[in-house]
C-alpha cells in the first residue's frame, strides 16, 4: 500500500484521438527533439515532475532552476489522459483540462520544451474495463498504440507514460489481464515512436507481464519509476540503473526529510532518475531544495508567478468512489 495517496481523480471524458502517425525525434538522454532547444546542461539524475492538470498548470514545472540557471526538472508529465472503452474497442480520451493543455501547447508545452524539458502524456485507466494488460489481440494493441502515436505527433509531445491503474479489468464484459497484451502494446509503441520517450510507472498487472514469447517489453522503455510515494523500491524492469527511479516523492506530501534522504540514496547508489508528483502553483522552492541539494548540490530557485488551471469548476470524483484511492 502506498504511503501517500495521489489525490482525487476525475472520471475523464472528451474527444477521441485516433489514427497512427509515426514520427521520430531524438531520445531525451541523447539530444533535443526536432525544433526544441537543447537544455542547459546539468550534472546529476534526471528529475521528473508529474502535474495534476485538473488543478495546476504545466507551466509551473519551468519556474524552478538551480543556482546556475539550469532547470530543476528534466521531464514534465501531463497527468492524465485515459484509456476508455466503447463496448468493442479501447480508445484514447482527454478530459477538458487535459484537452486544454494540449490545445494551448504554445503556452503550456512549448515554453518547457524551449528550456530543454521533455513533456510526456501519461495514460491511465478509467474504470471501464479497458487497460494495457487486456487487449484481446496484437491488432487491438497496435491500434491503441497508433492512437497514442497520433496524439504525440498532433500535439508535439516528447513521449508517452503508461500507468496501469484504475482499469477495473473485467468491467463492461472486458477480459482479465493476459500475458501478451502489454508486450504487444509497448512493442507497437516503440515501433511507432522509435525516438520518443516511453516511460513506465511501475504498478498494476502490466508490471508483472513484461515478457512474452521471448520479447522483453521492459527493455523498450526509456525510464521506469517506483509508484509508492515516500518509499524506495527498485522497479523490476530490465533497464540500467541510470534509467530507473527507486525513489518517489509527493511534493508537500512526503516529508521533506524523507525526500532529502531518498535523493541522497539515489546519488549514493548510482541511480539516474528521481520521481516527483503533484507539483502545484506557488513558491515551493524550500521543499524542492530538499532534494535538489542532494541531487545537484544546489538550492532550487523559484523564478515566476504560479499558474493555475483556467477552467470552469466541475464536480470532483475520487478514482474509487467516495474515498480517496490508496495509490496515486
**Which residues participate in catalysis according to the annotation?**
165
Q: Cell 526509456 appears where?
A: 222
CB atoms within 10 A of CB 142: 18
| C-alpha grid cell, residue 322 | 467516495
| C-alpha grid cell, residue 23 | 514520427
Rg over CA atoms, the chain: 18
State how far the Cα of 116 lies from the Cα of 30, in Å rounded to an integer.
12
Dihedral angle, C-alpha 228, 234, 238, 242, nearest 10 ° = 110
Amino acid at each position: 500500500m502506498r504511503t501517500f495517496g495521489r489525490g482525487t481523480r476525475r472520471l475523464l471524458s472528451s474527444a477521441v484521438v485516433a489514427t497512427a502517425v509515426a514520427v521520430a525525434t531524438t531520445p531525451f538522454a541523447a539530444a533535443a527533439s526536432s525544433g526544441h532547444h537543447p537544455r542547459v546542461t546539468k550534472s546529476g539524475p534526471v528529475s521528473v515532475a508529474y502535474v495534476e492538470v485538473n488543478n495546476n498548470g504545466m507551466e509551473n514545472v519551468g519556474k524552478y532552476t538551480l543556482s546556475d540557471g539550469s532547470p530543476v526538472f528534466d521531464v514534465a508529465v501531463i497527468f492524465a489522459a485515459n484509456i476508455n472503452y466503447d463496448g468493442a474497442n479501447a480508445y484514447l480520451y482527454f478530459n477538458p483540462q487535459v484537452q486544454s493543455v494540449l490545445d494551448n501547447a504554445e503556452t503550456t508545452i512549448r515554453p518547457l520544451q524551449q528550456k530543454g524539458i521533455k513533456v510526456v502524456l501519461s495514460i491511465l485507466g478509467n474504470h471501464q474495463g479497458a487497460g494495457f494488460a487486456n487487449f484481446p489481440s496484437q491488432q487491438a494493441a497496435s491500434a491503441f498504440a497508433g492512437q497514442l502515436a497520433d496524439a504525440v505527433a498532433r500535439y508535439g509531445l516528447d513521449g508517452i507514460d503508461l500507468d496501469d491503474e484504475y482499469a477495473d479489468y473485467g468491467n463492461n464484459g472486458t477480459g482479465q489481464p493476459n500475458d501478451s497484451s502489454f508486450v504487444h502494446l509497448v512493442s507497437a509503441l516503440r515501433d511507432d515512436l522509435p525516438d520518443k520517450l516511453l516511460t513506465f510507472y511501475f504498478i498494476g498487472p502490466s508490471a508483472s507481464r513484461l515478457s512474452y514469447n521471448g520479447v522483453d517489453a521492459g527493455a523498450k522503455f526509456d525510464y521506469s519509476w517506483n509508484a509508492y510515494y515516500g518509499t524506495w523500491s527498485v522497479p523490476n524492469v530490465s533497464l540500467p540503473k541510470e534509467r530507473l527511479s527507486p525513489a518517489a516523492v509527493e511534493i508537500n506530501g512526503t516529508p521533506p526529510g524523507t525526500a532529502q534522504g531518498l535523493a541522497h540514496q539515489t546519488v549514493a547508489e548510482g541511480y539516474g532518475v528521481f520521481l516527483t508528483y503533484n507539483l502545484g502553483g506557488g513558491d515551493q522552492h524550500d521543499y524542492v531544495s530538499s532534494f535538489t541539494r542532494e541531487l545537484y548540490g544546489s538550492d532550487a530557485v523559484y523564478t515566476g508567478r504560479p499558474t493555475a488551471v483556467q477552467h470552469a469548476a466541475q464536480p470532483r470524483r475520487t478514482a474509487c468512489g467516495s474515498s480517496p484511492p490508496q495509490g496515486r
